[in-house]
Structure 1
Amino acid sequence: MSRRRSEKSESTNSELEELKYKYYKDLRNEKVKIRRSGKYFRCPYCDNSSKEYDLQDLLRHSSRIGRDSKSASFRDIARHLGLLKYLDRYVDADKTVSKSSRTKSFEPSGKSSRDAKSDPVEPFHITEQYKSGGKFYSSSVRTSEAVDKPVDCAEERPRREKLNAENTVASQPPLRSTKDVMPPQPVLASNEQCINEAKDDPIVFPWMGVVANIPVENKGGRYVGKSGTNLKKEWIAKGFNPVKVHPLWNFRGHTGYAIVEFKGDWSGFMNAMAFGKAFELDKHGKRDWNLVRRRDDKLYAWIARDEDYYSEALIGKHLRKHGDLKTVSEIQAENKRKDSSLLCNLTNELEMKNKACEEMKRKISRTEVFMDNVMSQKEEMVQNYNEEMEVMRRKAFNQLRDSIREHEKSRMQLEAQKEELMLREQELREREALNESEQRKLDHQKEMNERAILEQKKADEKMLKLAEDQKKEKEQLHKRIIELQAKLDQKQALELQIERLRGAMEVMRHMNVEGDLEAKKKLESIQEEIKESEEELESLETLNQTLIIKERLTNDEVQEARKELINGLKDSRAFICVKRMGELNEKPFHAAARKIYNSEEAAEKAMELCSLWEDHLRDPNWHPYKVIQKGLNVEEVIDEDDEKLKDLKTEYGEEVYQAVVTALNELNEHNPSGRYPVPQLWNNKEKRTASLTEGAEHILKQWKLHKRKTR
C-alpha cells in the first residue's frame, strides 16, 4: 500500500514539473506577458486582472498559490510555480527599479504614476539576488531550497535594507516646481549615503517630522487651522507617504505646529529624509525657521532630532510620549539582532521538522511491518475460516440426514394419530346422543333463569313498596312524636297533680284530726291516688325513654340518608340538586364589572371583588344584623345601614347587593358558627331547601327511568 502511494505521488509530482516548465517556457518566450504600470505588476494567470502588485508582493502571491494554497486547482498551482521560477531567474530588481524611476522622472508634471496604468509595457528581465557565503539566493520568496541551504545572518539584512531603500527612493513620484506650496524633492544618491549621513546622529524613532508656520485664524475665541488629514493627502500626493499628521493644540486652540509620522521601516526613513531635505533645499528647514526673522506664509519642516525631543514645548512632550531617541546605527544593530534571532529560530524549527519527518518515516516503516503482519494474520484467518466452513458443511449434511429420518418418523406418527382421531370421531358420534340430554338440561336452566328474573322483578316491586312503607312509617313516626308530646304534657300535668296531692296529704297530716274518720278516709284515698299516679308516671317515663331512643336512632338514620343523598346528587343538574349554602353567586359581579371596566380588566376585577366579599362573609367579627320585635317573637334581619353593604349597593348596584345578602342569610341559617358554605338538598323549582322525602322520590324516579332504558 505504501508503494502505491509513493508511485502515485511521484506521478503527480512529475506532471506538476512538466506543466510548471511549460508555463515557464511560455513566459520566457513571451507567449504570455507580464503587464506593468510604473512599479506595479499584474498576475497574468489570475482572473482579477485589475489587481496590481509590486515586485515583492507578486513573488509572495505566486509562492502562496503555488506552494501553500489548498483550494487552488492543479493547473493554477503549476502556472504560479512557473511564474515564480521565471521571476527568480529573469527578473532583475535593479533594472526594474531604475526603469521605473526613469519612466517617472520623464513624465509630465500633470501626469501621475497611476495614469501610466493604461500604457502597456513590454516584458522585463530582472534578477533580485543577494550573496551569502559565496551562494546567491532570491530575497523575494523563501522557498524550501533556500531554507535547506546555509544563510549568513550578518550579510542578509543590510543587503535587503539596501534593496528596499533603493526601491523606495526610485519609486518616489516627481515633485512640483518651487512655485508650488511644497518645494521639489531632491533625488538622493543612494540609500547607503542617506544612512551613513545620519548614522551617528540621534533621531526620533519611529521617524517623525516637525511642521511649523501652519496658517491659523481666530474663530470664536479659539485658533483653528488646516486639518492633519488634508496635509497628509497633500504630502502623499507629493510622494512622502506619511502615516499620520498630528496638529498640536493647546488651551488657545491650534498652535500652528504639527508632527508628521512615517513608517517605522527603511522606506519610512527614506521618506522622512526626503521630506526634510525637500524643505531644507527650499530654505524652509529648521535652520531657516530659527534664523530668518521675517518669515513668509509657507510651511517650515524638518526631521525631529534630539533638540526637538528634549524641548519643553508641546513638540517635545509629543515626541517623548510617542517615540524614542536613537541613532541609525543602533536601529540597524537591533534589526540585525532580530533577523539573526529569527533565522536561528527558523533553523531550529527546520531541524525539528526534519526530525519529525524522520520520525514519520520510522512510523511508516513500522506501519508497513505491522501491515505485513496483519496480512499474514488475515491469510491465516481465511484459511481457518475455510476449514471451519468445511466442518460446518459436514455438520449441516449430517443434520439434514437426521432431519429426513425424523420426518419419516413423524409421518408414521401422524398416520397413527389419524387412526386415533377416527376412533375419537366414532366416540363423539356416540356422545352426540348424550348432548341431547345436555340440551334439555340447558333449556331447563334457561327456564329457571327466566323465573328468577320474574322473582327479581317482584323483589324490585317489593323494594318500591318497602320505600313507600318507609315513607308511611315516617309519617306515622311524626304522628307518634305528636302523641308523645301530648303524653309528655299529660305526664307533666300528672306530676303536678301528684305534687298537689302530696301537699294536701301533708296538710292533712299536720292537721292531726284523729277523731275525724272522714278525714282519714280522704287521706287514704289521696294516698292511693298518689300511688296510682306514680305508677302511671313511671310507666309513662319508661315509654318516653323508649320513644326518645327510637327517635334518636331514626333521626340518625335520616341524617345518614340525607348525607348519602347529598353525596349522590352532588353533580346533579335536575330540579332536586345540592347547593352550597352561603356561597356567593359570581354572575352579578361579572355583570357589574363589565359595566364599569373595559373587557380586558372586567374579568380580573370581578374575581378580585368576589374574593374580597368571600373574605368578608367568612369574617366572624362582621355581623350586619339587627334584632327586631315582631309580635311576641324576636327576629334577626339584615342591617341595611351597614357601611360595607351601603357602599357595595351604591358602587356596584342592587344585583350584587342581593347576592351578598342572600349568601349572608344562608350562612346565618345553616352555619352561623362556622361561617363557611355547607352543602344542602335544594329544590330549584321552588327555590327552597328540599326535604328528605323529595330527595328519595327523585332518586326512585331516576332509578325507574334507568331501569326502563336498560330493558
Structure 2
Amino acid sequence: MIGVGKIKQYANVLDKPLSKGKQEVSLSAFAFLFSELVQYNQTQVDNIAELERRLEDAGYAVGARVLELLCHRDKGNRRETRLLGILSFVHSTVWKVLFGKVADSLEKGTEHEDEYMISEKELLVNKFISIPKDMGTFNCGAFVAGIVRGVLDSAGFPAVVTAHFVPMEGQQRPRTTILIKFAEEKSDVLHVLIDAKYSPVNTSFNPVTFFLQPGIAKRSKFPICIGMSNSMDTHSESEESDISDTEIDDYIEVQYEQLKSNKYVVKKPNGTFRCPFCLGKKKQEYGYRDILQHATGVGAASSIKKSGKKRGQHLALAKFLKEDVATEASSVKSIPKEIVVANKQVPKQEDELCVWPWKGIVTNVYNKLRHEKDVDESAYWLGKFSQYKPVDVHLMWDKERRKGSVILGFGEDMAGFTSLMEFEKIFAANRHGKHDWDRRKRDPGSQMYGWRAQADDYNSQGTIGDYLREKTELSTSSNINAKKKLGTIEKRENIIMAIDITNEELLEKQCQLDEKGFSLRQIHEDNDKLHKAHNKEMETLQRIARDHVYRVMENASRMKAEVDRKREKIDAWSRKVSEQAALTIWERRKFEDEKKRKNESLQLASENQISASKEVAILLQQQQREKREALDKFIQLRREMDEKHKLQRDLEELTGQIKMQEVVDTMRGPNEEEMQKMKAMEEELKERLEALDDSGSMNQVLFVKERQINEELQAARKEMIAGFDGHAGGRVTRPTAIGVKKMGEIDSKAFQIAYKKKYPGNEEMVEAVMHCTKWQQNIQDSGWHPFKVVEKNGKPEGVLDEDDEKLKELKEELGGEVYDIVVTALKELNEYNPSGRYPVRELWNFRKDCNRRATLKEAITYVAAKRKQK
C-alpha cells in the first residue's frame, strides 16, 4: 500500500525574511573563492591598476547590497543621512557584519579637510594572497575599498575610495589604510554643520565632542577621533602602554629628536603654532607664548590627570620651542581668534573711563506703587526689566524705606554691554535719562529715571557711589578689552584642557563600556548555552523518567500476571494434594516397588554390561583368530602363487617342447615313440592347467576375503577414533592412556615451550603462536617437498633433505628444539597422508615405552578396562 506523506515546502530565497540571524562562512572557503576571483581577474588585465579597478568594481556591488540589507534589517528601515554618521556606520556596523569585528581606527586626514582613513592592521583579504615580487604594489584591499565606495555611494555620499599599504615600525607586514575622499559638496555640508553647532566665540573645535552630540551620530557605538595630527599612531600606541617617571627623561629625548626631524608639524605657514599631541587642538592657532605656556602646563601636570607619555610629549615640545623655535618666534605675534564685536558698540575714546562690570542705575523708585506688589524683592525688578536681560539687581532705600534706587548688573561681556546700551537708549528716548534726572532732580515726579553707570556716578557721594566703588572699578575700554581677551584666552585654555581630559575619559570609558558590553554579550551567550544545556538535560531526564515509569508499570503488570498465574497453579496443586491425600500410603508403596524394580533393572544392566564385555573379548579373540587364519591363508596363497608361477613356467617349457617336437616331426616324419611321448606331455600339460585354474580360483576367493576383513578393520578403527573424539575430544592422560593423535600437526604447546626457552619473556608468546601457524602452513604446502630418494639395502627410500633452505633457516632462527618438532610433524604427514598434505587422525599409544600407532586390539582392551573401572 502506498502512503502519502506530508511534503516539505522549501521557501524561495527571495521569500525568506531579511532579519535572519548571523550567518558565517568557512574561512577556508572564502580564501579559496577570493583567490579564484583574483586569479580570474588577473588573466583578464594587462597591468596592476586595471586589476585593482576590477576588484574594486566587484566590491562595489557587494557594498551596495550590504547597505540595502542592513537598512532593511533596521527596526525603522532607516539609513544614515549625516557624514559622520555614515563614517561611523561603515567603521563599526558594516565592518562587523563583513569581518566579525570593528575596524582598528577611523582618522581624519591632516592635509585635506575632506579626507578620512579607515585603518586595519591585518585586513582579511590580504591574509591569503601571495603576491609575487614583480607585483609588489598590488593591494587586494581594493576589493574592500570597492565595498566602502558602494556603501557610501548608495547612501548618497559619493567619494573616491582607494586602498594603500602603510609601513609600521617593528612590524614586518604593513597595515592597510582605506583612504576616503569625499566630493566637495559633502565637505561643505560638514563645515556648515560645524559652524552652525558652535559659536564663533569658541573657535577651538573639538571634533570628538561634536561627534558625540545626540543629533549628530545616533548610531555610533565607538568614538571616532577626527582631526588628529600626523602622530595618530603615536597616540594609539601611547594609550596602549604608559611609561614610568624613571623612563620619562629618555622618552623626552626621543620625542625631542622626532620634533627636530620634522616628524610632527608644529609651526604653520601663517606663523602660528599648533600642538601635535592634543586631540582638541586641530583648529586652534597659538602664538609662541601661548603654545609654550600650554606645553609647560601640561608637562608639569600631576601624573594622576595626565599619563606619563602625554607629559613627556609636552615637555619635549616645550624644550623644542625654547631651544629651536625661540629665535624665530620673537617676531611672531599670537593671532588668537576672538569674539567679533561691532565697533559702534565699544566706546570711541580710548581714554574714556567706564564702570566695569557693566551697571545700570534706576532712581526715583517708590516702595509702594499703585497696583504693584513685592517691589521690595529683587525678583520683581528682574522681571520688570527682563527685556534688558540683567543678571543681578541691588536695591537701596532711604531711611523711611519710602523712596530708593535700583542697581542693575549686566555682567562683564559684550552681550551685557549691548543690553546696557539699549537700556540707556530707551530711558533717554523717553526723556528719563541722566540729563533729564539732573534737570528735574528737585521735582522729578513719579516716573523712574535710568542710565548707564559712569565715572561721575562712581565718584559720587552716597549709597550709589559707595556701592559702585565696592563692587566695580573704573577702567578704560582698552584695558577692559585686554582683560576680557586675557579672560577669554584663559577660559578657552581651561575649556580646551577640560575637553581634552573629558575626551580621554570618554575614550577610556568607551573602551571600558565596549569591554563590558563584550563581556555582557559573552555572559548572555554563555547563559543561553547553559539554558539550552539545562533544557536539553531536563528533557533527557524527563524522557528517562517517563521510560522508567513505563518500565516499572510494565514490570508491575507482568509480575502481577505472574503472581496470579502462580496463585492459580498453587491452588491447583493444593486441590490435587487434597484429592491425593488418601492415596499417600498407596503411592509410597508404589514408589518403593518402582524403586526396587529400577534397582533390579540396574543390576540386570550391570550384568548385561559384564556379559557384553565378555562378548567383546570373545569377539576380539574370534577376530584375532580370523585374522590369524587369514594370515595363514595368505601365506598359503603366497606359496600356491609361487607354485602356480613355477607351474606356469613348466607349462611354457612343456608347450615349447611340444611345439619344437611338432616341428621336428614335420621335418622328419611321424615317429611312434615320439607320438606317445607327445600325448603324455599333453596330458601332463592338461592336468597342470586344471590345477592352475583351481589354485587361481582359490587365490581369488582368498583376496576377496582379505579385502573384506581389512575394510571391516578400517571401519572399526574409524568408529574407535570417532568414539575417542566424542568421549574426550582426543585429549587423553599421558603416559598410560590411548587416544587420538593428529598426524602431521605441530604440537603447539611443545612449540611454545621450546620457543620460550629460545626467547624468554611473556611478550614473546604471541610471536610463538604466529611462528607455529606459519610453519603449519608451510608443511601443508604441496609445493614444498623437503625429501630426497636414496638407495638403502638395494631399495629406494625417501629420507628428509636436511640441506633444504627453509629447514636450515628454521634451525638458525628458532633453534634445534623447534626444528625437531617441525621435522617430526613433517615426517608424520609424509608417512600418513603424503598425497593430501593435511593432518589425519590415528589411534595412538601414548605410553612412554610405546609412543607408536595403537592397534585395534589395544584400543578395545583400553575401552573394556575403562568400563570395568566404572
Normalised TM-score (structure 1):
0.40
Q: Which has the higher helix share?
A: 1
Normalised TM-score (structure 2):
0.33
